Amino acid sequence: MKLFVGLGNPGARYAGNRHNIGYMAVEAIASAHGFGPWRSRFQGVTSEGRLGAEQVLLLKPETFMNLSGQSVGEAMRFYKLSPADLTVFHDELDLAPGRLRLKQGGGHAGHNGLRSIHAHVGEAYGRVRLGIGHPGHKDAVASYVLNDFAKADQGWLEDLLRGIADGAEALARGDGARFQNAVALRMQPPKPEKPKGEAKPVAPEAPEAAPDTRSALQRLADRFR
């Protein structure tokens, strides 16, 4: 079994926050792939289903962000999973809005949700870093992440979540390159190609002038009229 965890804060007041993009990611996977209903377990809510050959448990911890590791650790112990089976979707200030990067292991870079998971299961798990951009000053970070995405963000956010759902099966089987390609195709769809052999439009020809049947003397006279 694989465990996909989306980080966020529970409750309607936080639902549209930038900090909750991890929740949004696993919700998009559940919806697109016909996962089962969400139910309360492991100090969070879970939904089960299959992505290709892999059985996958989606988890949204409801301990609030700073204690996410309690929920994740409980689920991993129950299913006897290792950090290699865990992938965490989380917001990333150091990536531009709409950018996505995969990371295996390493530090938590000050992210409180990851910090908590590190404390409970170690650091050798996978992460899907979801760019939300930076407000420009560290003192503005808390307010920025706990505010909703702006209306101008909705276009790229919808494309990003669809791309994550498109590539979820590849991610579950460990094909990170194919997963990232699925996201890229949603974010920057290829331009349609012109059919081969298509004829170029031809400008209409000007009608031919009628022959001038006037005599030379008549043409000369007409010039002075």
Residues annotated as part of the active site: 19
Q: Tell me the backbone φ, ψ of residue 87, rounded to 5 degrees.
A: -130, 130
The answer to whether the CB of 72 falls within 8 A of the CB of 121 is yes
CA 24 to CA 30: how far, in whole Å?
10
Number of H helices, E strands in the chain: 7, 7
Contacts 24+ apart (CB under 8 A), 75-83: 75/3, 75/41, 75/42, 75/44, 75/46, 76/3, 76/121, 78/42, 79/1, 79/3, 81/1, 81/3, 83/121, 83/122, 83/123, 83/124, 83/125
**Per-residue DSSP letter, 32:** H
DSSP 151-193: GGGHHHHHHHHHHHHHHHHHHHTT-HHHHHHHHHHHHSPPPPP
Our CA angle for 21, 22, 24, nearest 5°, is 60
